[in-house]
């Protein structure tokens, strides 16, 4: 079975960073999200993050908030998430889920892990769950063979970076800016410094996200990180057309190939 | 016992009250809540901080607040009733206790900018007031729906120098105002303190906000012993997020014979699904940074609360209340909008005190509890705020503008 380490190892073997694209399940519709995610995979995303729409997304900016609202008001249910993940896996793509923690708690942490693994998902990114509160998730992820991606931020102390890295598997998510999700014009200057700090504590691959939207920005980040994570820009593209999604993925895929990998 | 003395009821070092509380926040905010917890731990033991806080409560907020007997209201309750008069504080509610404490802490941390959320506007007005007093920049997030319902409070905040930002996302009410305040905090955390208005959120907020409001219970206990010569049979308070309730409860928490009673907003009735009775009808979940009871659907999506009282219109509750419910130390039940409005009118007419609709829930709770205690029973009701802000609602509810009578 393919794992997240394989995804990053394969990219590294090509001397490049991995491209990771995000889209909420159920946006613009359940079938539409499956189509777009498959297109992202076909057009160069090494990994996709399937978002679980949540009523109170405190880490997200307006673009992803609006997409989540649209999915929920169209009747999206948590069980649909596994269906979308399975569609990616069945098409030969690799998927992780990105979700706020309350829907997982409500579903049951172990049941969620079980059903995600059954759908072929590789792990969960948890933006509002820190390792300090993750006892149940540690156990469930071990039991079902899923990877745990926790986040580190520019404000994280050395001690917390070390602790978070120890608790993570697959890859670590470094938030490039202090702020919520959303495409930005300039890559944060805090990102390279954060990645350098994280490397002092771990050999895990490091993905950098928040604010990336163009091939040029992807190339810049690929110069110091192992993975380039793009979210809001894909959501905007999915709001336009599948062709826009494919074009964006291709541009970003070119970007991660135009910079030499760091390690 | 001092207001800031650590108690056996304090959470563990990571903010857990039993299985409740903790920190369910993005890593980006952990440094800020750690800094806050460390600073609060120092401040609560620092006589200079404690004395300055007490001075502001006395000389600015007007404490101690009175304890007033309500004999004519009590005739309807069938038992003796005393009111803890938080409505007489400056800015008209208990909220000022917490904002003065946190504003002082903001200065102590060397931060210049304060953000806050507000529903009805009481916490926003109190925060804007404390910021004006202490020379801090103030930004208040308020759901767009609430800015329309509470235009006068928006004007008060602006007069006090605060910037009011209408929140247009989600249900455009209190929970969305908290979401946007959290988003602002993540982006501006270096220079900004998030002055949360209730005893909820990530550690240390539930502990810290509770402590700033413990003055209510400490005063009430001394006053009732002096005036009635004994402890009450029960202390009654309304619970939205639960800050006024936890403040008065803590004055009596070690008095095993004093029942602690929280009254929740029952809206149109629990069966209607249109209510905010989180402890009565909610399920465990994490919202706005802590594990507690929350109102959610089967998928863990947070549902909207409904109450005639904007201040109780919240689908979560402070984690210590979830703990007190589970261990059986406190009891919680809902009253409907109609019962609260009846109590609102009754206190106004019988005692000459117009209560906040929030506090009217506690009064309605007292009317329900009273008969079981009998004429020798004794209730202390936390009158957490005054009703001036609620006149628009009252005018509509009772048809007062058309010659109606409450």
Q: Is the pLDDT at A261 greater than 60, yes or no?
A: no
For residues B237 and B288, state if they share a domain: yes
pLDDT for the residue numbered A209: 87
Q: Is residue B8 part of a domain?
A: no
Q: Do B286 and A105 touch (CB under 8 A)?
A: yes
Of B23, B179, B283, the CB nearest to A58: B179
Give the start-to-end residue ranges of the domains of chain A.
4-149+212-257
When scoring A155, A159, A176, A197 by the number of chain B Cβ atoms within 10 A, the one with the most, hence best to mutate, is A155
Does A107 reach chain B within 8 Å, measured CB to CB? yes
Does A54 reach chain B within 8 Å, measured CB to CB? yes
Radius of gyration of chain B, Cα coordinates, nearest whole angstrom: 19
**Helix, strand or coil, per DSSP, at residue B113:** strand
Pairing of strands A151-152, A172-175: parallel
Q: Is the pLDDT at A187 greater than 80, yes or no?
A: no
Does A160 reach chain B within 8 Å, measured CB to CB? yes
Distance in angstroms (rounded) separating the CA atoms of residues B350 and B331: 28
> What one-character DSSP code corresponds to residue B236?
E
Of B175, B187, B300, the CB nearest to A102: B300
* Residue B178 structural domain: 16-59+95-205
Measured from the Cβ of residue B88, the count of other Cβ atoms closer than 10 Å reads 19
Q: Do B24 and A152 touch (CB under 8 A)?
A: no
Q: Is residue B6 part of a domain?
A: no
How many angstroms away from the CA of A44 is the closest CA of chain B? 29
Smallest CA–CA distance from B189 into chain A, residue: A178
Smallest CA–CA distance from A63 into chain B, residue: B169
pLDDT for the residue numbered A3: 85
Question: B365: closest CA among B333, B389, B387, B397?
Answer: B333
Determine contact, residues A124/A138, Cβ cutoff 8 Å: no
Report chain B residues whose CB lies below 8 A from the CB of A62: 169
Pairing of strands B234-238, B378-383: parallel
Determine contact, residues B70/B347, Cβ cutoff 8 Å: yes
- Please indicate whether residue A49 is annotated as part of the active site: yes
For residues B271 and B191, state if they share a domain: no
Name every residue whose Cβ is closer than 8 Å to that of residue B271 and which is 6 or more positions away in sequence: none
Does B302 reach chain A within 8 Å, measured CB to CB? yes
Q: Do B299 and A103 touch (CB under 8 A)?
A: yes
Q: Do B31 and A102 touch (CB under 8 A)?
A: no
For residues B320 and B364, state if they share a domain: yes
Summarize pLDDT for A109-141 with one digit per residue, the tens: 999 999 999 999 999 999 999 999 999 999 999
For residues B251 and B357, state if they share a domain: yes
Q: Is B44 exposed, middle or buried (0-12, 13-18, 19+ CB in 10 A)?
A: buried
Of A106, A156, A179, the CB nearest to B27: A156
Which of A24-33, A171-180, B250-259, B288-297 has the least mean pLDDT? A171-180
Name every residue whose Cβ is closer than 8 Å to that of residue B180 and which is 6 or more positions away in sequence: B117, B141, B165, B167, B169
CA angle A27, A29, A32 (to 5 degrees): 90
Distance in angstroms (rounded) separating the CA atoms of residues A4 and A136: 21
Three-state helix/strand/coil letters over A123-183: EEECCCCCHHHCHHHHHHHHHHCCEEECEECCCCCHHHHHHHHHHCCCCEEEECCCCCCCC
For domain A4-149+212-257, the question of CATH label 3.40.50.2020 is answered with no
Determine contact, residues A11/A253, Cβ cutoff 8 Å: no
pLDDT for the residue numbered A2: 58
Question: A246: closest CA among A43, A38, A30?
Answer: A43
pLDDT for the residue numbered B212: 98
Q: Do B22 and A164 touch (CB under 8 A)?
A: no
Summarize pLDDT for A193-209 with one digit per residue, the tens: 999 999 999 999 999 98
Summarize pLDDT for A58-113 with one digit per residue, the tens: 999 899 999 999 999 999 999 999 999 999 999 999 999 999 999 999 999 999 99
For residues B269 and B312, state if they share a domain: yes
Count the residues in chain B.
Answer: 406
Question: Given pLDDT bands bounded at 50, 70 and 90, which one contains residue A263?
Answer: very low
Of B175, B189, B303, the CB nearest to A155: B189
How many angstroms away from the CA of B283 is the closest CA of chain A? 9
**Helix, strand or coil, per DSSP, at residue B87:** helix
Catalytic hit among B243, B322, B384, B389:
B384
For residues B100 and B170, state if they share a domain: yes
Q: Which residues in chain B show pLDDT less than 50? A: none
pLDDT for the residue numbered B71: 98
Determine contact, residues B194/B17, Cβ cutoff 8 Å: no
Q: Give the total number of structural domains in chain B.
A: 2
For residues B28 and B153, state if they share a domain: yes
Determine contact, residues A132/B14, Cβ cutoff 8 Å: yes
Does A162 reach chain B within 8 Å, measured CB to CB? no
Distance in angstroms (rounded) separating the CA atoms of residues A129 and B27: 8
Name every residue whose Cβ is closer than 8 Å to that of residue A33 and which is 6 or more positions away in sequence: A23, A24, A25, A26, A27, A50, A71, A84, A238
Structure tokens at B187: 């982006």
Q: Is the pLDDT at A210 greater than 80, yes or no?
A: no
Distance in angstroms (rounded) separating the CA atoms of residues B259 and B122: 28
- Please indicate whether residue A135 is annotated as part of the active site: no
Question: B287: closest CA among B21, B6, B10?
Answer: B21
pLDDT for the residue numbered B145: 87
Smallest CA–CA distance from A61 into chain B, residue: B183
Q: Is residue B249 part of a domain?
A: yes
Of B27, B170, B302, the CB nearest to A130: B27
CATH number of the domain within which B336 lies: 3.40.50.1100
For residues B259 and B346, state if they share a domain: yes
How many angstroms away from the CA of B303 is the closest CA of chain A? 8
pLDDT for the residue numbered A87: 98
Q: Is residue B220 part of a domain?
A: yes
Count the residues in chain A.
Answer: 263
For residues B102 and B248, state if they share a domain: no
Q: Do A133 and B23 touch (CB under 8 A)?
A: yes
For residues B88 and B191, state if they share a domain: no
For residues B319 and B352, state if they share a domain: yes
Determine contact, residues A104/A59, Cβ cutoff 8 Å: no
Q: Is the pLDDT at A262 greater than 60, yes or no?
A: no
For residues B123 and B229, state if they share a domain: no
ipTM of the complex: 0.94
């Amino acid at each position: 079975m393919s794992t997240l380490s394989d995804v990053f190892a394969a990219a590294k073997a090509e001397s490049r960073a991995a491209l990771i694209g995000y889209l909420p399940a159920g946006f613009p519709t359940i079938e539409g999200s499956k189509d777009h995610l498959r297109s992202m995979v076909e057009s160069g995303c090494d990994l996709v993050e399937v978002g679980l729409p949540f009523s109170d997304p405190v880490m997200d900016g307006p673009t992803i908030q609006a997409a989540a609202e649209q999915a929920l008001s169209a009747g999206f249910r948590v069980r649909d998430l596994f269906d979308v993940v399975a569609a990616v896996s069945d098409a030969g793509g690799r998927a992780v889920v990105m979700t706020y923690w309350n829907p997982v708690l409500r579903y049951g942490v172990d049941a969620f892990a079980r059903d995600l693994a059954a759908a072929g998902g590789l792990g969960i990114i948890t933006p509002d769950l820190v390792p300090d509160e993750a006892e149940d998730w540690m156990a469930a992820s071990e039991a079902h063979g899923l990877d745990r991606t926790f986040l580190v931020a520019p404000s994280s102390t050395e001690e917390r970076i070390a602790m978070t890295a120890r608790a993570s598997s697959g890859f670590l998510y470094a938030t490039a800016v202090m702020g919520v999700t959303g495409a930005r014009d300039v890559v944060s200057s805090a990102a390279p410094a954060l990645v350098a700090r994280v490397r002092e504590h771990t050999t895990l691959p490091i993905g950098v996200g928040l604010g990336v939207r163009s091939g040029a920005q992807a190339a810049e980040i690929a110069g110091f990180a192992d993975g380039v994570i793009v979210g809001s820009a894909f959501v905007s593209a999915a709001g336009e057309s599948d062709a826009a999604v494919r074009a964006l993925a291709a541009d970003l895929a070119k970007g991660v190939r135009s910079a030499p990998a760091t390690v | 016992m001092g207001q800031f003395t650590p108690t056996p009821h304090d959470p563990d070092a990571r903010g857990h009250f039993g299985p409740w509380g903790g920190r369910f926040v993005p890593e980006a905010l952990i440094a800020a809540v750690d800094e806050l917890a460390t600073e609060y731990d120092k401040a609560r033991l620092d006589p200079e901080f404690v004395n300055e806080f007490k001075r502001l409560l006395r000389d600015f907020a007007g404490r101690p607040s009175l304890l007033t007997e309500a004999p004519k209201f009590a005739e309807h309750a069938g038992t003796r009733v005393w009111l803890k008069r938080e409505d007489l504080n400056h800015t008209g509610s208990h909220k000022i206790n917490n904002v003065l404490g946190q504003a002082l802490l903001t200065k102590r941390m060397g931060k210049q900018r304060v953000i806050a959320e507000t529903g009805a506007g009481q916490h926003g007005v109190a925060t804007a007031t404390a910021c004006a007093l202490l020379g801090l920049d103030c930004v208040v997030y308020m759901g767009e729906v609430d800015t329309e319902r509470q235009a006068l409070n928006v004007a008060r905040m602006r007069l006090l120098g605060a910037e009011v930002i209408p929140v247009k996302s989600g249900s455009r009410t209190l929970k969305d105002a908290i979401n946007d305040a959290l988003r602002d905090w993540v982006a501006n955390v270096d220079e900004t303190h998030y002055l949360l208005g209730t005893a909820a959120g990530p550690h240390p907020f539930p502990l810290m906000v509770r402590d700033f409001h413990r003055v209510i219970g400490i005063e009430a206990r001394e006053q009732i012993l002096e005036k009635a010569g004994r402890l009450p049979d029960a202390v009654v308070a309304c619970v939205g997020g639960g800050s006024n309730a936890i403040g008065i409860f803590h004055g009596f928490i070690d008095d095993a014979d004093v029942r602690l009673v929280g009254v929740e907003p029952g809206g149109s009735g629990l069966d209607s699904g249109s209510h905010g009775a989180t402890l009565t009808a909610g399920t465990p979940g994490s919202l706005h940074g802590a594990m507690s009871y929350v109102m959610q659907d089967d998928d863990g999506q947070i549902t909207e609360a409904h109450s005639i009282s904007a201040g109780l219109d919240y689908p979560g509750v402070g984690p210590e209340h979830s703990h007190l419910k589970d261990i059986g130390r406190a009891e919680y039940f809902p009253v409907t909008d109609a019962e609260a409005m009846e109590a609102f009118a009754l206190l106004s007419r019988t005692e000459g005190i117009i209560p906040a609709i929030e506090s009217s829930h506690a009064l309605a709770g007292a009317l329900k509890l009273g008969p079981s205690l009998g004429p020798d029973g004794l209730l202390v009701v936390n009158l957490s705020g005054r009703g001036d802000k609620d006149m628009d609602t009252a005018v509509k509810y009772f048809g007062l503008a058309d010659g109606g009578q409450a």
